[in-house]
Structure 1
Amino acid sequence: MEPGICYIKPEYLLAEPNGDRRSEINTPADGETNKRKHLENAEDTSEPKSKRGSGKKERKRGQNKNRPVFKDERYSHLCHSLIDGAGGAPCTVPNCRYVHDLEAFIEAKGADLGEQCYVYSTKGYCGRGITCRFAKSHTDENGQNMKKPNYDENTAQTTCNGISSELQVRLRKHDYDFSRSKELIKMAEKLRDENKKNRQQKEEEVQDQKQQKLEDKGIESKENQQQDEQLIESIEKEDATVEQSTASKAIGCAISEAPAGRDAQRKPVIDFREKLLLSPLTTVGNLPFRRICKEFGADITCGEMACAVPLLKGLGQEWALTKRHESEQIFGVQLCGNNPNVISQAAQVLHETARIDFIDLNIGCPIDLIYQQGGGSALMRRTNILELTVRSCSALSDRLPFTVKMRTGVYADKSVAHELLPLVEQWGAAAVTMHGRSREQRYTRQANWTYIEECAKQAKHMPVIGNGDILSYEDYVERRALAPHVSSVMIGRGALIKPWIFQEIKEQKAWSPTSTQRFELLRRYCNYGLEHWGSDTKGVESTRRFLLEWQSFLYRYIPEELQQSPPQKINARPQKYRGRDEMETLMSSGNASDWVRLSEMLLGPVPQGFSFVPKHKANSF
């Protein structure tokens, strides 16, 4: 059998022209020629065709930019004074730009998408009121929005975090007190400079000792070169032992009598060992998806990567990434940035205003824009900046662990994580997640778990979490055997393709859901999405968009009953196949128009002119 191919049982195979084993490529959802051309141009963010070599297939990596996005015009919004129906307090906003004609709004809104509002049925009150696309289920004969008698506003609130108006004003007016983080940065700089000076002095002393011993021994001839090398090696070992013992006394931002940062030998606030962690996944790792993964057994979750600068500017869309559902018992926020002052200030404001259990620093992000600005994986080669960041953030609080997520390095042929990881532990990190690929590799090639094990051996007390290419219980067992020093496992794309992987690992057996069960999983996600983003038109379309983004990974799941040699491997491309029923065939399609059909079964018809292209090119095989 040819490697890289997932072979399907003969009875499920489809005829393939010219023996092509590739699955269907992702195509735009609409069939109009001009739309198709527009999307092709939007996806093409590389060099102009005239500069490209002819006949070469363009490599899919990064993101599809300039994609068409649903726009919800502000003038189509109903004024908040009419949300619960007519008869309330009149609008007092001068020159209010929203709609005040309730009958005209209801007529323009269109028919309801269903008979039951999930938010109203579970909470007892729908805050979207008349604008809800399921409004008839919670409005009376007079058109007034209803509340159930047992509705309790306190218990109905199931999420926390985000940004308050008061905090937003303070951040935008630069009125927030960041003296704590600024002090920690100064302490970290002082400690870094002292360590650098001590290292230089030690190097000079070692060189003097080497020269003196060489002169004393009289080793000058080439015949005694081997003894010379042995002597130098013994001196270096002695020096390394002294330097290591000195470094172990300086954890976090400890300067003589100054408050210490997190000590790796101290009992951690969060035990990261023997846990199943869900990766922070940009765009697709949203709150409704994390709820699904929690229900399947994920132990620790983390929000989508948030950039430090927009957080400090008080941007609501960035703070929305910090929102946490009540089911997430252990929840963290992942930060990204290129400046230690900015990152430490963002960490401080999160620590003081948000309900989180840990903060993670992303130094493995491969996105070009972030890398070119010196953030993400660029920090793996900016060790001075990284040291200040880790020392200052880890010293913020003994009750808030600071973790780091990294890759093997920037380049495929030059791994540096094994050198960086012990330094990060020395600087005070509570845990490190190792993704077994370089920035250059992105998601191509297999994750190098042998190298992850090599890195895990470098840690003395700090947990090291392995990440990469786990799609089944068998993969989990195999990777843990390859890397016995790894404390836990983090799962990213494997959870997107089959979120029940956490359940499989804990139960130590495969689960092959039917197409009906998988469709109900999509329905549950949509319900959670309507609760999170809202059940009005904007909320419905936001839910649709994120559902389609998830489906761009979900379609890659291949039921075990269809495979010749299960379990499925994450980068194995299947032969063209059909499912055991029509729904299973539809859910396995790589055609975006089929994904849109699935969304219409759950969220009603798409708006006129709607089209969809996945954001992440990593969704493809």
Structure 2
Amino acid sequence: MEAGICYIKPEYLVTEANGSSDTINTENSETNKRKREDGEDKAGGNKKWDKKERKRGQNKNRPVFKDERYSHLCHSLIDGTGGEPCSLANCRYVHDLDAFLAAKGEDLGPKCYVYTTKGYCARGVSCRFSKAHTSEQGRNLKREDYDDKAPPTTFNGVSSEIQVRLRKHEYDFSRSKELIKLAEKLRDVRKQIEQKKKDGKQEQSVGTIEEKQSETSEKLDGEQQIDSKEPVTQDNPPVATEASTGCAIDDSPVGRDADQKPAVDFREKLVLSPLTTLGNLPFRRICKEFGADITCGEMACAQPLLKGMGQEWALTKRHQSEDVFGVQLCGNNPNMLNQAAQVIHETAQADFIDLNIGCPIDLIYQQGGGSALMRRTNILELTVRSCAVLSDRLPFTVKMRTGIYADKSVAHELLPLVEEWGASAVTLHGRSREQRYTKHANWNYIEECAAKAKRMPVIGNGDILSYEDYVERRTLAPHVSSVMIGRGALIKPWIFQEIKEKQAWSPSSSQRYEMLQKFSNYGLEHWGSDTKGVETTRRFLLEWQSFLYRYIPEALQTAPPQKINARPQKYRGRDEMETLMSSGNAADWVKLSESLLGRVPDGFSFVPKHKANAF
């Protein structure tokens, strides 16, 4: 593991003389633990690379808290008694309002963020702040200025109608199937050309095949235009038949493509990486406020999307503040990936679609998806070719790693091919799948790959935690068009602000606490302010805290800025809150969450999903 030491000023160091604290980073014990996990020999210092004994990746057996039935109140009672009775004979939810309110417990605070900002809380009496918007009779209130016709602030997801059609296989994917067939023909023609050149055949024969390839390519590009007998206008919108839901709307001036934005400009932008689990909508809102230019949703798998699974479709949701937003797909089958891209294009509001071929997760890789696609070039070609021509206003991008193995990089070979196949941009993470996050990102190799691109923007990704890191990487890789930030944004969400202002910002503990409060409010707005929503917000807050605690204030360091893989010496903050925020103990993170979201339920325990073993 390439992890250095971040040296702390002597006055903040914790030594044996001045004691220790439960809320102090246990650097020595953590380091020793990781040494044992990496198989380091205590006597000779030699590493025994036993993959079976190494612990890495995710805490798959972590306890996951599940709320009780009392947290689910029947919708007929959400606004209190006196409304329409429940019409379902076998309703699964609670109908005893008094018992529900007794089990719900005391309110978490005097103000409801949702009610304060919107004028109405849809969680009603089940809200954990319900006293702020219920009458003396127990009825849920609506403020006078509440506009029930106001446009939503969150978009995407899947409607019940589309969900049913996807599950019943009634969605029309004929266009997707045609694009796949044309992509297959183009791939076969390319193989013939390569074989002819390899066999040393006559140039005339090769030229004939190249003409055929050009014709097929033109036909594939022509599929972006949909002919119509009558011009489509506002008064004459396209009509979907009962049997055909998935109509192509590329050239329609109405619907989600009403504002025909030009293709996304990926040059000179600060891009927030699509982060599994941690890149949720409330976190992206925080990053947008700090200056992120482009955001992307969490990785969504194509197969569950096509099955209409609401949990997977939730990963495509977008907030109105995300002015440039993409949906990232993952899969192992070009047909599924193209169909998922089609249904997202036709039903969701997205500015681009990204294909993940760098995911290192074992389950994804073993099924042939993620980084496994870097060695399945035939499947990758079909996917990129077919998805890239789905719409001329919906750029298709690719995110990859240097390769699968640390000693065998292949991105320099794949990147020009992906550009040839039609990708609008490529993001290159400067590590292999095998390296995960335990080595420094290779920006020299990123530059080598970026120099091979003809016109396609290349976005560099890896190890940026400060403005100085940003300048250093851009200097090393002048051909890189933009920079994507992942772990750096998790540790320091204000890194986007630092880069744009070209100077470091060292927020106080109270300012960082206000940021956590803002995340909690955004979470309650997004996941709900009832018991289930509160605990969902708490879980994602705790997951984020497993990265936030790694931030070291500039004033405490002897030689700032902080490096992303450098572990700090054992230290104490300038005040109690700063010390608490620097703790690597999950119990301290729970204390922070309780100050924001109330006491945890009985029997609650938390183990972070990501081991984050590369500091």
TM norm structure 2: 0.87
Matches within 5 A, 1:70-219: 70-74=65-69, 76-155=71-150, 157-205=152-200
Query: Secondary structure at the residue paired with 1:617?
Result: coil
Paired residue for 1:9?
9
Alignment of 1:246-325 (within 5 A): 253-255=217-219, 258-259=222-223, 269-325=263-319
Whether contact under 8 Å (2:509, 2:577) holds in the other structure is yes
Distance 2:567 2:212 in 1: 48
Match of residue 582, structure 1, among 576, 597, 600:
576
What is residue 479 of structure 2 aligned with on the other side? 485
> Against the structure 1 CA distance between its residues 315 and 57, is the aligned structure 2 distance closer, same or farther, given a 3 Å change threshold?
closer
* Alpha-carbon distance in structure 1 between the residues aligned to 2:102 and 2:499: 51
Residue in 1 that maps onto 2:64:
69
**Identity across matched positions, percent:** 76
1:388 paired with 2:382, answer: yes
Cα distance in 2 between the residues matched to 1:268 and 1:461? 17
What is the Cα deviation at residue 617 of structure 1? 1.4
| One-letter identity of the residue aligned with 1:521 | M
**One-letter amino acid of the structure 2 residue matched with residue 541 of structure 1:** E
Q: Which residue of 2 aligns with 1:216?
A: none
Tell whether the 8 Å contact from 2:25 to 2:582 is kept in structure 1 after alignment.
no
Cα distance 1:56–1:95, how it changes in 2: closer, same or farther (>3 A)?
closer
C-alpha distance in 2 between matches for 1:81 and 1:24: 56
d(CA) in 2 for partners of 1:248, 1:541: 59
8 Å CA contact retained: 1:25, 1:590 = no
Q: Report the counterpart of residue 602 of structure 2 in structure 1.
A: 608
Indicate whether 1:516 and 2:520 are aligned: no
Which of residues 558, 564, 578 is equivalent to 2:558? 564
User: Mapping of 1:398-409 within 5 angstroms?
Assistant: 398-409=392-403
Specify the code of the residue in structure 2 equivalent to 1:96. Answer: C
Preserved CA contact (<8 Å) 2:182 2:216: no
Q: Please provide the CA RMSD for this pair.
A: 3.0
Equivalence map 1:410-425=2 (5 Å) = 410-425=404-419
**Alpha-carbon distance in 1 for matches of 2:613, 2:91:** 43
Contact 1:254 1:260 in 2 (8 A): no
Higher helix share: 1
Matched, 1:397 2:401: no
Check 1:595–1:127 CA distance in 2 against 1; reply closer, same or farther (3 A cut).
same
Letter in 2 for 1:4: G
1:465 counterpart SS class: strand
Post-superposition CA distance 1:388-410 (Å, at most 9, x none)? 00000001000100000000000
Say whether the 8 Å CA contact 2:189–2:213 is kept in structure 1: no
Are the structure 2 counterparts of residues 158 and 618 from structure 1 closer, same or farther at C-alpha, using a change threshold of 3 Å?
same
Residue 96 of structure 1: how far off its partner (Å): 1.9
- Equivalent pair of 2:70/2:94 in contact (CA under 8 Å): yes
Structure-1 separation of matches of 2:211 and 2:515: 51
Q: What is the identity, as a one-letter code, of the residue corresponding to 2:159? A: S
Matched residue of 1:596: which SS? helix
Separation of aligned partners in 2, 1:422 and 1:133: 54
Paired position in structure 2 for 1:466: 460
Asked which structure has the greater CA Rg, the reply is 1
Q: CA deviation at 1:73?
A: 3.4
CA distance in 1, matches of 2:379, 2:49: 42
Cα 1:111/1:616, change in 2 over 3 Å = same
Aligned counterparts of 1:390 and 1:374: Cα–Cα separation in 2: 16
Q: Which residue of 2 aligns with 1:217?
A: none
TM superposition score normalised by structure 1: 0.86
Task: Measure the CA separation in 2 of the matches of 1:522 and 1:248.
Answer: 59
Maintained 8 Å contact 2:183/2:220: no
Q: Distance in 2 between matches of 1:91 and 1:162?
A: 26
Measured after TM superposition, the shift of residue 256 of structure 1 is 8.1
Instruction: Give the superposition deviation at 1:135.
Output: 0.3
CA distance in 2, matches of 1:384, 1:424: 12
C-alpha distance after superposition, 1:316-361 (max 9, x if no partner) = 0000000000000000000000000000000000000000000000
Give the drift of 1:619: 6.3
- Which amino acid counterpart does residue 6 of structure 2 have in structure 1? C
Contact (CA 8 Å) 2:272, 2:294: kept in 1 or not? yes
1:23 corresponds to? 27
Compute the displacement of 1:99 (Å).
1.5
Q: In the aligned structure 2, how far is the partner of 1:581 from the partner of 1:248?
A: 72
Q: Deviations over 1:10-50 (max 9, x none)?
A: 000012699999627789xxxxxxxxxxxx9xxx9x9xxxx
Offset of residue 525 of structure 1? 0.2
Distance apart, 1:250 and its partner CA: 5.2
Contact 1:75/1:97 (<8 A) preserved = no
